[in-house]
Structure formats: structure tokens, C-alpha cells
Structure 1
């Protein structure tokens, strides 16, 4: 009996809805200004307003409201009638695009070319007379006649002015980049890429402008994330503002839609810089998609859009966010190679201790591996202290000594106390072997396709300093020894990060060589190393300031003090 009631109600409700007409989605209807449609049924046509027909969501909403008002006390009917109806309801209306276009063209052609003709000296309307449709046509005609004419010349001028404004905006953007972002080293290929980003957004709008809420599908979010990763956050924010300005100029998009893009793009710019690792891939996709979708929904509701339309906008926003992150992850390495950049995504991948080179370093040269970990830690903390790129510095610390894997036994941190192969070699040969770890490291890096920015740490972490131990040994045998034979070939470090790793490498080795590394001893050793580097010209090509060098010196002292702090002498406990 209960089942019969459900079937009876569902059948009646379906008949009511389908008799009015059900379409899958009202967005697909190309409405005119009056929001009316022509429905053809059984060979007859009749005109109805948009509110007189249902889409699938509105039909189900109508059924839920109807059954609640009629059978509020029948819980079985309330639960199963909507479920049954939803499973069988199907659209019985569809849009005939070809017929719609045909009729619109006929209506366009049937419009009189001259409406509201006014004869010379004719009185259009007298005081207190009713203004009917013919009088309204004459007033409109007079207004049109007296208004400035938009001839072909005027349209050309408007087109030229609009493009001139765009090029002025773009020129100011490039000028701003060149003056404020000199450290980014914006080259010709970078400018081509940035220009393409601008054009891509305008092109996408031009191709799909007829879609409702197209602003939520524009690749502004994708552009912002790419620029943030390839250049910097600040640069991405500036680019975002100029990008939105050009879209407003060309498209006249609704401001609330662009506001949602602005907010979600800013969020994505900061999130992708903090959680750019591929390990966090799913998390970043969901976060960016949700933020984009939620803001699209809220802004649409604020703009008094219907709830259904707001839901559609939020779905567009979520899809845009998800697709943007997927495309970034898929193409970022290609863009890195084309533009000669290295992003935080790649750097965080290189920080994975499961990288083949780091696994080999740990297995073949445990002493060098431990040294590299300390250098990386020192470099990261020093970079943070002077607002340098801490990820780049840490990666540089990890990989700077990988060349020692070729001949690990020739480096003191990998030797046991019983055997030192340098004891049987002339100092000049020993120095040559030591220098070769730079060349070997560069070859390994190239073989494993390590970015050139990271390879630079391998080449520059000794600068052109001397190999002091073997130089002094040679001078004890021959006072006329040529110092240049015992110098590394360089180059000198150029960036702040390269300079930090050079200093961290020397300081860690120097402090580790102390027999009793107390606080004062470590401090003197660090100061001596810094002074030697300065006198030897190792900072000559570096962008680092003297103030930052002093900050780094203090950071190294504090960090190493924690690593090499005094231990309790358990052997002497209880002894007098």
C-alpha cells in the first residue's frame, strides 16, 4: 500500500512537471531580452516565460516542496517519492539552435530600416498628451540622429585607442620589471613568455566569451602560479594586477568574477611557494580548487545571482584550480629548461634523500655525506637570516661535494687512521687529485640532469682558493713553489647562495679539524676563515654585502656551537 502511494504521487508529480516542460539546463537557452521561449507541442506553438518551465534541479525542488506541503506527516512518502521521481525524470524539451538562428535572422530582416520618421516642422508631442509607441519611436529616432555618429572612422579610432592603452599598460609593466626586478635577470625569452601569458588570457576570452561566467575558466590562476614558481611571489602579484587590467580593458568582464580570480590567485601564489613539492601534489590541488570554487560561489551570491548559477560558477572555479595545478606540474620542467630557471618544485625534489646521487654519496662516502648534511644545514639557516633563497642554498650544500665519490679515499673525512694515499704522492699530484672532484662532480651532475643553477655550487664552492696543506708541504720542499698550481680553477661564487655554501664548506671543515672545539676556539676559527676569504679575493664577484657576511658569521657560530657543544666525560664520573 505504501509503495502504491509512492508510485501514485510520483506519477502525478511527473505529469504536472512534464506538462509544463523540463529542460536539462536553462543555461543552454539563448534567451532574448524578454526571457521568453517558444514551445512546439503536437504541431502547435505557444510562448511561455522562463519561469513557466523547469530545468532538472527546479523540477526536483518543486516536487520536494509540493510533497512536504501535502504529506508532511508521511515520512515514507517524503523519503521515497523524491528518490523515485529523481531516478526517472528526464528532460522533454531541447533547444533547436538552427530554428532559433533562422527565426532571429528573419526577425532581423523584417525590422523596418526607418522607424520614427519626423517631417520638417512636425510637432512630435504636445503638453499633457499621452506618449504612445509611435511617439516613443520618433523621440528615439531624434535622439539617435542628434547623438554622435559611430561611423567606420570612429570605430577604427576606438580600436586603435584601446590597443594603445593596452600597449601603454604593457610598456609600463616591462619598465617596472626592468627597474624593480633586476635580480630576476629578465631576458628576451622571459619577456616572450610573459607576453604570451598576457595574450593567452585575452585569446581564451576571445574564443569563449559567449559562455556564461567565462571569467572563472580563464587561465589567470595558471599564469600566476607559473610566474610565482619561475620568478618570485612579488613579481607574480604585480603580473597578476597587470593581467587583470588588460582583461578589464578588452573584455569588460564582471568585476566580481575578476575579484574571485584575484583572491584565489594570491592564495595559490603563496601556497605553491610553501608546498611546491610533488609529495604535496594532491593537497595543493584540493586546496586551490576549493578556494577558487568557494570564492566564486560567495561572490556570485553577493552579486545576487541565483543559487543554481552560483553553484555552477563554483564548479567552474574548482575545475579551473584543479586543472591549473595539474598543468603546472606537467609542464614546469619543460618551462624550466626553455627559460633556464629552476623552481621550488624541482629544488624540493632534489632535497629528497632518496635521490640516486645522494644515496650513492651516503653509501660510498659516508664522511663526505655527513659533511654535506652539516653544510646544507648551515647554508639554509644563513640564507634565512639574510633573506636569500634557503632552498637553493640547502640543495647546494647537499650536492656540492658529489665529485668526491670518484676517489673517496683521497679526502680526509673518508679516510681511516691507518691509511692515507697522499703519503706516497708528491704534493702537486695530491693537489691535482683534490681539484678533480670539482670536474668529476660537474660530470655527475650533468649525467643526472641536475639544473645548471645547482651545478654552479659544485664549480664555485672553493672559488679560486688555495689547497693550503699541500701548498705548504710543497713549499717546505721547494720555497719557489708556484702558488697557482695549488689553486682551484674557480669560478668565484656570484650569488648570495653560492657564497654561503663556499663559506659553510670551509667553516665546517675547519671547525671539525679542531681537537677540542670549544666556543672560543670555534669562533676564532670562523673569523680566521672569513678574513682569509676576504683577503684572498673570494668575494670579488659576489653580490653579498659586508653586513650580510657579518650576519652569516654569527649564524655559523651559533649553529656550530649547538652541534659541537661539550659532552659529559662519563669516564671521569666519580673519580677524584
Structure 2
């Protein structure tokens, strides 16, 4: 039992990766919609490339969206709306008319006129409320039939027979003229306007229910295809009715009710495909990015981003498949390039697109567009920390989407008039969403403890608190660090390494010298040397301690691990040769390990560059009368000695790249000393 526990403990990194791999596979399969997958890609407007296709079962031909839309439009035009007649309002208005009539028309009016007026008011009110009074908002055609609902009964009337409130004055004037009561026009108009109220309203709920009922009666199919009937022959162009039948077969196939056995086999199929895709990604990381493979946090970060893109796409498809291109899939390669490199970013992007190809419609078109956009992202984005570069990259990605979609549509439809402008809007929204990558990278830095170029740019500011403290306590070291940073940046640019990382690492590599600044010659302003009173061994210990002190300071100030790596490795496992030689003069049996830096040796191109630049810049101060040839020999001697000691064995830097670094250092030192070419005499 104890040995098994020890085995688990020793291999916990491997078990974690296996767990992460399997968990991601399970989650992706769980997110995928389950059902049959039509095994043919329908090539709209192009020849059928497969063998003759026969109907595998009986199925109905679905109507096209245009046909269904036309039927709904016809129903809308023929549909009779419902209006509600309120009888209570009529009774209330009658009472109000009697009351207002007595107030407006006094008893001094002759009896015959008063009777005539009373009859007129009653008859006019009855005519107004025969079909009701409507406060019209959205006018219909005068000849439009409507249902007028009184209680539980509804009868058809033409819309013009319902009096509108805005036509009430005209109606009253007409009635007054016919009754020859012009002498009482003002009083009668005042009477009706004070009392008459609308009693007809549009019954939206009843109208909508009736409309939905008619929609439900629409037949979504027209005709049937019997089993064994040939659907399309090889080489036949897929268009018109053939295309509609194929789409109907695909819809029927994918909507079939699956038995538990079928369902289980679909799960097995999805699991195998997702397993293989993720396995390729894991093997790629292990073979070509082994340093990332060894870091569980980085592997988790990669799989988390892949899973998030799948999750976001699945949610959008479930909401509305037409919005699938709004998903900013190019955030994935942008993010991975920002933290790692372009090759890993593109490979992960391709794997993600292949996974999404299972669930999106028009999978070939989707995968083509997304892979091309991913390649453009990787090729165009540089220095992501510069906002202008991000906007330019997003603009190029959006343009590629639009051009590719336009080309596909022209091929499939044979006309530019079938291009849907709404899809262009989807691409623009997706481009805008891609701009979210900058705050997303910042969040990832805080969550996963990673470092992007944007953070490195902040750290490269020489006005930062830590670098200002270095310039105050150890001004010579600060000046040395600036020179090394310039050399390292130029060398990194020459060989295609991360120049920003090399510069930041160089700026902070000697911060440990702040603890005992006067023990380092660049900070000694007088002729007094602090090492004169110490033994060579004690002096070497103080010199070596600046690495350990630098690591402690960096951790207290929360510097990223990628920057701390430069502090650890900038001397590798070399010896403090000056004091070792002095000790050997005193004691011939001196142990070189007592004068050796703890390491580790550089394990990346950037840390290897820093070791070369640091040694060359520091030693160049000892050149009394520099010449071009002397500097060339001097650089060769220092770097060749480091190579002989095997300091670059763990870094992925090649001999050719080392030669290029030497070339840059020689050129830069000659510029510093303002040397010219030595001409022969």
C-alpha cells in the first residue's frame, strides 16, 4: 500500500494531466447535441460527388423557408382581427347624456324644440354605438372585415362601420345638418363631446391566438419520397428541388427518435473523435513544447480556453444558429500567442475548429472560414500590447471573414444578389467581441499567474518602484542593467526570440545587488574596495549571494516567475573566477565548487542571451584601449568559454543563433566605443 501511495505521489503530474484530459473530453461530449449526423455534405450549386443516393426510408419533402414565409404572409393578409364591444360604457354614456342635456338645454326652450332635441340626442347616440366608437391608433383599410365581439357572440362588420373618435365631429355635424338643428350646433357638439366615450378596443390576445391557431395548421411538407427512390445521381448538380429533397432527408435523419442503443453508440462515436482530437493536442504540446507540458497550470490554461470556446459556440447554436459567427473564436489564437507562441496558438485553434465542425451547419464552410481567420490572426498580430496593432488585426480578421463568405455565397448561389447583409453584421459583431481579448488576458494573468507582453511592457518602465530603488541604492548596477537590456533586446530581435521578455529580464537580473551594493565594482565611487578586508572565499560568497537575494526581493515584490528565471540563471553554474584564482594562489587545493553559482543553467533562448550579454557587458569595462579586432576576440573568448562549460546545453538555442548573438554584441560594443574599421597600412 505504501509503495502504491509513493507511486501515486511521484507520478501526480501525469495523473493530473490524464484527469484533465478525460474531464475535458467528457465535458465536450456532454455539451455536444446528441443525435444522428448526416454523413453527406450537401454541395449546394455543385455536382454530387458521392455515389447515387437512394432514399433509406419514407420521408416528407419540407417546404422551403421562402414558401413558409409566403404562406404566413397570406394568412396575415386574410386574417380577420377581433375587436371588443363594451356595453357597460354605452349604459354609462346614456345616463351622462340625460344629465348633461338638462344642464345644457334650459326649460326656456320651446317645448317642440326641446322634444326634437331630446329625440335627436337619443337617436344619434344609438347610431354611434350601433357598431361602437373606436379610438383608432393603427388604421386599417375601410373595407377590412373585423370581428366585433359583444359578450360571447362575434359578428363580422366592415371596419368603416365602426365610428372613429377622430371622425366624431364630422359625423355629428352631418347628423345636425340632416335634422336641421343648426341653431343648436354648438350646444349639441358640446353635449356629445362631454359625454361620448370610446367603447370598442382591439382584442390583441384573441387576435393573436386565432393567428397562432392558423399558423399551427400550416403544413410544413409537400409531397413524400418513398423508400428506395433515387434522390440524386452522381455528378448531378445539387440545386432547386434536388437540394430541397436532400435538406429534407438530412432534417428527417437528424430528428429521428433514437433508441437507447443508438444513443449510446452516438456517445461512443463522439467520445472517440473528441478523444483523438485532444490527444493530438496533448502529444503536440509534449513533443514540441515540453516546458509547457511539464507545467500543469499552463496545460490547464490551454484546455480551459479550448473548452470555453466550445461552450460559447454550443450556447450560441442553441440560442440561434444564425449567430454562430458572432462567437469570437480568434480570441483563442490571440490569447495563446500572447502567453506562449504562434505555433501552439494556431494548432490549438485548428483542433478547436475541428471539434466544432461536428455541430455547426455547413461545417466545411465554417471550418474554412475559421481556419483562414486563425492563420491571418497568427500572421498579422505582433506586439499585442500596442492597441493599434490589435485594431488592425481585428480589421483584417473581419475582412477575411467577409471576403470568404462572399466567395462561398457566389459559388453556391451563382449570384451576388443572394448575399445576406445580416451575415456581414455578424462578422462585424464577432470582430468587436475579439477586442475583448485585452481585458481577458489581464484576467488570465491574475487567475493563472501567467505573463503576457502587456505585463512585460509595464515591467520595462524604468520609473517603476523597484527599478527606481535599484537606481538609488546601486546606480552603477542600474546603468549596467540598462546596457545589458539594450544588448539583450537587440540580440533577441536578431534570432527571433522574445525581445520584450529578454529586455525585462535584463533590467531585473541584478536587483539582488541592492543588498550589498558597495561589494560590486560598478557601485564603488572611491578607491576603497570592500573586498580588501575579506578572504577570497568570503568575497565569493557575497558575490554569489546576489542571485539568492535577487530571487527573494523579486518574490516579495511579486515579480512573475518568467522574470525571476532570469535572476536564477544569468550566471548559470559558472564560477566567480577572480576570487577563485586568488584563493588558488593561497591554497592550491581550493575547491572550485565553493566559488560556483548555484544555477540552474539557462533553459531558454532569452535566458541564454542574457548570460552572454551580461558577461560581455561587464567584462568590456576592463578593456583599456579597445580596437575592433580586440572586441571581436574578446566577445569570442567569453562566449566560447561559456559554451565549453556547457552553460547552454539546457536552452533551445542553436550554434547559428549563438553566432548571430556574437555578431550583434560585437557591433553594439563597437558603436559604444565609437570604433571605426581598422584599415591596413
TM-score band w.r.t. shorter chain: 0.5 to 0.7
Deviates more, 1:153-162 or 1:428-437: 153-162
SS of the residue corresponding to residue 575 of structure 2 reads: coil
Deviates more, 1:458-467 or 1:287-296: 287-296
CA drift at 1:437: 1.6
Give 1:506's aligned residue: 615
SS of the residue corresponding to residue 331 of structure 2 reads: helix
What is the aligned counterpart of 1:369 among 472, 478, 487? 478
CA drift at 1:442: 1.2
Asked whether the equivalents of residues 276 and 344 of structure 1 are also in contact (C-alpha less than 8 Å), the reply is yes
SS of the residue corresponding to residue 34 of structure 1 reads: helix
**Following the alignment from structure 1 to structure 2, what is the Cα–Cα distance between the partners of residues 96 and 244?**
48
What is the aligned counterpart of 1:286 among 383, 391, 398? 391
Question: CA 1:117/1:337 → structure 2, altered by over 3 Å: closer, same or farther?
Answer: closer
Give 2:69's aligned residue: 34
CA drift at 1:563: 1.8
CA drift at 1:514: 0.9
**Following the alignment from structure 1 to structure 2, what is the Cα–Cα distance between the partners of residues 251 and 148?**
13
The alignment's TM-score, normalised by the length of structure 1, stands at 0.68
**Following the alignment from structure 1 to structure 2, what is the Cα–Cα distance between the partners of residues 162 and 421?**
71
Does residue 208 of the first structure (1) align with residue 316 of the second (2)? yes
The alignment's TM-score, normalised by the length of structure 2, stands at 0.58
Question: CA 1:161/1:565 → structure 2, altered by over 3 Å: closer, same or farther?
Answer: same
Q: In the TM superposition, what whole-angstrom CA distance separates every residue of 1:516-566 from its partner, at most 9, and x where no partner exists? A: 121222223223323432444434544444444344333322322222233
**Following the alignment from structure 1 to structure 2, what is the Cα–Cα distance between the partners of residues 98 and 247?**
39
Does residue 387 of the first structure (1) align with residue 426 of the second (2)? no
CA drift at 1:310: 4.9
Asked whether the equivalents of residues 268 and 288 of structure 1 are also in contact (C-alpha less than 8 Å), the reply is yes
Give 2:46's aligned residue: none
SS of the residue corresponding to residue 217 of structure 2 reads: helix
Question: CA 1:117/1:398 → structure 2, altered by over 3 Å: closer, same or farther?
Answer: closer
**Following the alignment from structure 1 to structure 2, what is the Cα–Cα distance between the partners of residues 254 and 191?**
28
CA drift at 1:438: 1.2
Give 1:172's aligned residue: 280
Question: CA 1:329/1:159 → structure 2, altered by over 3 Å: closer, same or farther?
Answer: same
Q: Which structure 2 residue ranges, 5 or more long, are not aligned? A: 1-64, 84-201, 227-244
CA drift at 1:453: 1.5
CA drift at 1:567: 8.4
**Following the alignment from structure 2 to structure 1, what is the Cα–Cα distance between the partners of residues 445 and 624?**
46
CA drift at 1:404: 1.6
Question: CA 1:408/1:308 → structure 2, altered by over 3 Å: closer, same or farther?
Answer: farther
CA drift at 1:222: 1.7
CA drift at 1:227: 1.9
CA drift at 1:401: 0.9
Does residue 103 of the first structure (1) align with residue 138 of the second (2)? no
CA drift at 1:337: 5.8
Question: CA 1:212/1:288 → structure 2, altered by over 3 Å: closer, same or farther?
Answer: farther
Asked whether the equivalents of residues 459 and 490 of structure 1 are also in contact (C-alpha less than 8 Å), the reply is yes
Asked whether the equivalents of residues 292 and 298 of structure 2 are also in contact (C-alpha less than 8 Å), the reply is no
CA drift at 1:458: 0.7
Cα-Cα RMSD: 4.2
Give 2:82's aligned residue: 43
CA drift at 1:452: 0.8
**Following the alignment from structure 1 to structure 2, what is the Cα–Cα distance between the partners of residues 276 and 382?**
21
**Following the alignment from structure 1 to structure 2, what is the Cα–Cα distance between the partners of residues 201 and 97?**
43
Give 1:197's aligned residue: 305
SS of the residue corresponding to residue 397 of structure 1 reads: helix
CA drift at 1:450: 1.3
**Following the alignment from structure 2 to structure 1, what is the Cα–Cα distance between the partners of residues 607 and 634?**
21
Query: Per chain length, whose mean CA-contact separation is higher, i.e. which structure has more relative contact order (CA < 8 Å, sep 6+)?
Result: 2
**Following the alignment from structure 1 to structure 2, what is the Cα–Cα distance between the partners of residues 472 and 389?**
37
What is the aligned counterpart of 1:378 among 474, 480, 487? 487
Asked whether the equivalents of residues 460 and 491 of structure 1 are also in contact (C-alpha less than 8 Å), the reply is yes
Does residue 490 of the first structure (1) align with residue 599 of the second (2)? yes
Asked whether the equivalents of residues 362 and 369 of structure 1 are also in contact (C-alpha less than 8 Å), the reply is yes
Give 1:526's aligned residue: 635
Deviates more, 1:462-471 or 1:535-544: 535-544
Deviates more, 1:487-496 or 1:190-199: 190-199
Asked whether the equivalents of residues 68 and 220 of structure 2 are also in contact (C-alpha less than 8 Å), the reply is no
SS of the residue corresponding to residue 359 of structure 2 reads: helix
SS of the residue corresponding to residue 220 of structure 1 reads: coil
1:1-150 map, 5 Å: 33-35=68-70, 36-37=72-73, 38-39=75-76, 42-43=81-82, 99=209, 103=213, 106-107=216-217
What is the aligned counterpart of 2:269 among 137, 161, 165? 161
What is the aligned counterpart of 1:421 among 506, 515, 530? 530
Give 2:361's aligned residue: 252
Question: CA 1:189/1:485 → structure 2, altered by over 3 Å: closer, same or farther?
Answer: closer
